[in-house]
Structure 1
Amino acid sequence: MSDSPTAPPDRRRPGPVLYISLALTLAIVVWGAAAGDSLSRVGSAALDGITRGFGWAYLLVSLGFLVFLVVLACSRYGRVRLGRDDERPAFRRSTWYAMILSAVMGIGLISYGVAEPISHLAEPPHDLAAPMTPGAAVTAMQFSFFDWGLHAWGIFAVFGLAMAWSMFRRDRRGLVSALFRPLLGRRADGPLGGAIDVFAILATLFGTTTSLGLGALQINGGITALFGIPNSRSLQFAIIGVITLLFTASALTGVARGIRFLSETSMGLGGLLFLFVLVVGPTIYLADLYVQSVGRYLSELISTSLITPASGDLGFMQSWTYFMLAWWLSWAAFVGVFLARISRGRTVREFIVGVLLVPSVVFSVWFTAFGGTAIHSDLAGTTRIAAAAADDANSAFFATLQSLPLPAITSVVTIVLVVLFFVSGADANTFVLGMLTSRGTEHPPGWILALWGAVTGAAAMALLAAGGLESLQQMVIVSSAPFLLVVVGVAVSLWKDLTAEPLQHTMPTASAMRGAADRTGEIPEPARTKTLSDDATEEAAIYGVPASVPAEPKP
């Protein structure tokens, strides 16, 4: 099952990838700190060129990934486990979901949960509705679901599935370059593979610094709403410094302790805040808005996926659609490695359904509760949240809370929640960067984790100094452009790897299933299938596997 090369004596020892990545990152950090205007101009020019010439590629790739995942989930490969055939998941299902949500995109629930829907209400995408109307409300939610739903999680699922398959099914190192062994062979271990890893590290780093910058802006917005302290770069830098210390310390405790604790705590606190808004807010209106918006989103998913500047607004695409897809692509390596790390023992089908559908539903419900509440109060004329968001997007969430009961308490809870999301996401990122620069080890050295924590914080400060949110968005799109080819290569390599899997792995024998049931007390998924299909029957005869198995193996 393994095709990994002979491991070096100390797999944890960093190689050239670490030093090259650090040198390039520090060069950009110094550039942003010393000549922020210059970095901003170059980023703006690169952004314009990429989105005008190749923006369509982001749309096609993300849509293609969704089709690919559906095919895999419905195929015979869906029953294969990411690990040994009798292996069980390391984390219970609720913990697994919590870690996926909070450590991956939790900060987006606060940063964009109100800001995006209310912005689309005031300026509907592609002039599809009249501003500040009930029709604009449905369109606003539809495009919010598009940015945070299936397309985003499809990118993560492809990369995560490829990494889990490579690490746990093929026993390769936890490196992006290792995913290319089916395509590149031994060249994946040489300079070409090193270049792939450097691209992955830079895309990961700048995707995460964007989250770090957004988190600092959001916390600053909460402090302003609560205490009247104005927004300032010095306060934002102080916030980044404190959070950097927290997430670096958490990363040193490992996945099973620090990230797990933060994820479960933030999900519990977020659930309470969600229920509060759902109960005291316009509940009936929110339910109606959700049903309409989900219906529009699903019915127009293909057509929305193929809107380009030729038929739409380039400015909107750069600010929202292209930026979001580029952000998810830049996170692909980070999220993929992390998802793989916490998903060992799950089946391919379980992984796809869990990563693709559950977070998409959670994000759509959250955006409807908070964004829909803001939309309802603005349409009723009791608030001006859209105007507040136009002046400062980071004030939108807190402006919504101010329109509900107990605003002081809910604002404090929100700030705590932002910090938890902030720390858990950056914690996971630091852990992944440590893996990628420690030859793929699942236990990176502490000094490398601390180093990447400091570099991530410094990069976020440099980009904020260079131009704030606009510079963060520019860097995400620019850094993700070359990585787009890497992600497509990952999908092709995964398919080649899957088709090379011996068929007997997909249909374990009855004795193997009895052994798994004895060890776990649960019947493995293949044992629940009483009769195989005709094709599977023929394949079973070829490989000497029984064509049918009992529904409940005897002890």
Structure 2
Amino acid sequence: MLDKLQRALGLKTNPAIFFTSAGLTFIFVAVSILFTDGVDTAFRSASDAIKSNLGWLYILGVTSFLIFLIWIAASRYGHVRLGGKEARPEYSNVTWFGMLFAAGIGTILMFWGVAEPINHFANPPLSGVNSEVGTLGEGAMTQPEFADSLSGIAVAPGSAAPLSEQAASEAMGFTLYHFGLHTWAIFTLPALAFAYFAYRRGLPFRVSSIFHPLLGDRINGPIGKAIDIAAVIGTIFGVAVSIGLGTLQINSGLNGLFGIEIGAAAQISIIAVVTVIATISVVLGLDKGIKWLSNINIWMAVGLLLFILLAGSTIYLLRGVIETTGIYLSHLIPLSFWNDTLPADEWGWQGGWTVFYWAWTITWAPFVGIFVARISKGRTIRQFVIGVLGAPTAFSIIWFSIFGLSAINIEWDDPGSLVGPVVQEGDTAAALFAFLQHFPATEFLMAMAVLIVVIFFTTSSDSASLVVDMLTSGNTLNPPVRQRVFWALTEGVVAATLIAATGQEALQALEQVITVLGLPFFLIAFLTMYCLVRALRQDVTEDELLPPRRAAKRRLREKEPTSSEPS
């Protein structure tokens, strides 16, 4: 029946995966609208249980992924080329790097570049005072009073006092921990596996292909299809969280520029416009759509970064980039194993920040992983790991150093100007625009920031549509455009419907869902490491494990005639 429906609609996909994924997505949306409170309660309970009982596993696991990637890049397997010995990269390094940000990390940088450092600056994670620093409510203090009260809170010896220099250092360390090597390890691991199995074994770009060393041809059976359906649903809802965050930020920017009211009507309109743009990009294809928008946007983002650097305290920020790099490296190992064990509550600060980040990020892993693998053919495993781990992390260090330290400096000079709206009032989406008000050409900068977020938002939806379609299309690399259009529209409908149904509460409920959906993906990641090593041991020849020059010399020696052979 599904085959007939597929032919009638002119599709070229795996009917079981396509229709089941689409059906379950819309059923979940409908149930969420009809029974919002019940769904929210169920997922909140499950999310809290995961944070309380398995948060330590998330922390250890992501650190394990990072250690594994460093090992495999440094090992002899690092010489293995994705696509065969003669394959070469399809895109230049600059274009490749820009397209990495098309996968959605650009939206995260724009949203959290100011918001996270300021949050941790006011609420130092290791100080144990977070319960003392609430949001602005009825009868709350004014912004200056709030800033004064923060600086006067008593903390344990050796802990950071809010708004202090130590709090600033701690804020930058935690922010880069969240958006540095660990985040990109979550993306790089599945991306490497997808690239290997697609270009080495000729398997489709599906999550089930990773399990080929264990399941063999059974990846095409019910087990493989179940894995792929879960990956599709997780990807859609993972992207929906980012669409929600991006929509809130765009709405906040338009409110500051044109007075457009912040609310569900405006946010749905924003989603509709951006979805139309994303759909056009989908129709244009990877090289004309995502590639073109990515190149434009990365240069716009760099332009904004340079403006903040030059218009702000330039020498202070240049010194800060170097110092923040050291802060990150000094925090990297301790935070990689920190589990928030000592607070009296069950999962403390870390459950609401790090564990949620890792759970949310890992639901993106199939989406970002397949997209990165799709654009990375021809690179060696070592080049791949260094590029996908190193380049975005280096850019993140620079980005958060300049935006984060600028924000902290502004708060020191003008107490309450950023902590007030972002922490007191809890308006995280407005953090970037509150920050830009302290620079010349404010309206131009705000308009530019809104445009950057819109394009990042568009490329995220576009690339997600491409990947979801690949997950559902089996062996077809470039299926009919109408399928990618369907998924682009679906992503917009999911986000818009949830916002229309319950507004902010829908996004908060969705965060709980993401935390729960992240668990199976986390378990898949552990198996990915095993499957990848097993496949490498089965497939790779001794010649491929040698450095290129040694391999060439060895092949040359093998071609030379021996003394017993006739000349």
* TM-score using structure 1 length: 0.88
Deviations 1:55-75 (A, max 9, x none): 112111111111111111111
Other structure's SS at 1:171 match: coil
Q: 1:396 matched to which residue of 2?
A: 431
Two-structure CA RMSD over aligned residues (Å): 2.2
How far apart are 1:388 and its partner, in Å?
0.9
- Percent identical pairs in the alignment equals 37
Counterparts of 1:10-409 in structure 2, within 5 Å, are 12-127=12-127, 128-312=159-343, 314-381=347-414, 384-390=417-423, 391=425, 392-409=427-444
Using the TM superposition, give the Cα deviation of residue 486 of structure 1 relative to its aligned residue in structure 2, in angstroms: 1.5
SS in 2 for 1:277: helix
Distance between the aligned counterparts of 2:100 and 2:297, measured in 1? Answer: 12
Question: Is contact 1:115–1:389 with CA below 8 Å preserved after alignment?
Answer: yes
On the 8 A contact 2:249/2:430 being kept in 1, the answer is yes
Task: Name the CA distance, whole Å, in 1 between partners of 2:111 and 2:465.
Answer: 21
Residues 1:526 and 2:559 are matched in the alignment? no
Task: Measure the CA separation in 2 of the matches of 1:361 and 1:289.
Answer: 14
Distance 2:254 2:60 in 1: 41
CA contact 1:225–1:395 (8 Å) conserved in 2: no
AA in 2 matched with 1:17: I
Amino acid at match of 2:466: F
Cα gap change, 1:405 to 1:342, in 2 (>3 Å): same
SS at match of 1:91: coil
How far residue 87 of structure 1 moved from its aligned partner, in angstroms, is 1.2
CA distance in 1, matches of 2:284, 2:55: 40
Shift of 1:35: 2.8
CA distance, structure 1, for counterparts of residue 526 and residue 11 of structure 2: 28
The CA deviation at 1:381 is 2.3
Structure 1 residues 256-304: Cα deviation after superposition (integer angstroms, max 9, x where no partner): 1101001100001111110000011122322333333322321232221
Q: Distance in 2 between matches of 1:176 and 1:505?
A: 29
1: CA distance between counterparts of 2:466 and 2:227? 19
Determine if contact 1:91/1:342 at 8 Å carries over to the other structure.
Answer: yes
CA distance in 1, matches of 2:40, 2:530: 35
Specify whether residues 441 and 460 from structure 1 end up closer, same or farther in structure 2 by C-alpha distance, changes over 3 A only.
same
Per the TM alignment, residue 472 of structure 1 is displaced from its structure 2 partner at its CA by 3.0
Q: 1:502 is matched with which residue?
A: 540
Secondary structure (helix, strand or coil) at the match of 1:346 reads coil
Q: Is the 8 A contact 2:543 2:551 kept in 1?
A: no
Residue 470 of structure 2: aligned partner: 435
| CA drift at 1:11 | 10
Q: CA deviation at 1:383?
A: 5.5
Q: Which amino acid aligns with 2:218?
A: R
How far residue 502 of structure 1 moved from its aligned partner, in angstroms, is: 3.2
Please give the TM-score of this superposition, normalised by the length of structure 2. 0.87
- Give the conservation status (yes or no) of the 8 Å contact 1:81–1:346: yes
C-alpha change, 1:248 and 1:531, in structure 2 (3 Å) is closer
8 Å contact kept, 1:531–1:547? no
- Specify every segment of 5 or more residues in structure 2 that has no aligned partner in the other structure, as ranges: 1-6, 128-158, 561-567
Q: Name the CA shift for 1:545/1:38 in 2 (closer, same or farther; >3 Å).
A: farther
Name the SS of the counterpart of 1:84 in structure 2: coil
Partner of 1:452: 487
Residue segments in structure 1 that go unaligned for 5+ positions in a row: 1-8, 509-524, 533-539, 550-555
Distance 1:481 1:545 in 2: 50
Tell me the distance in 2 between the aligned counterparts of 1:319 and 1:444: 40
Aligned pair in 2 of structure 1 residues 75, 282: CA closer, same or farther (>3 Å)?
A: same
Give the drift of 1:504: 4.3
The whole-number CA distance in structure 1 between the counterparts of 2:552 and 2:225 is 47
8 Å Cα contact 1:326-1:477 kept in structure 2: yes
Aligned residues: 514
**8 Å CA contact 2:11, 2:480 repeated in 1:** no
Q: Does 2:454 correspond to 1:419?
A: yes
Letter in 2 for 1:359: P
Q: Which amino acid aligns with 1:526?
A: P
- Matched AA of 1:371: G
Contact 2:282 2:462 in 1 (8 A): yes
Equivalent pair of 2:255/2:261 in contact (CA under 8 Å): yes
CA distance, structure 1, for counterparts of residue 471 and residue 397 of structure 2? 32
SS of the aligned residue for 1:252 comes to: helix
Q: What secondary structure, in the 3-state scheme, does the structure 2 residue paired with 1:500 have?
A: helix
Task: Provide Cα deviations, 1:140-186, integer angstroms capped at 9, x if missing partner.
Answer: 11111011110111111111110000111111111111111101122
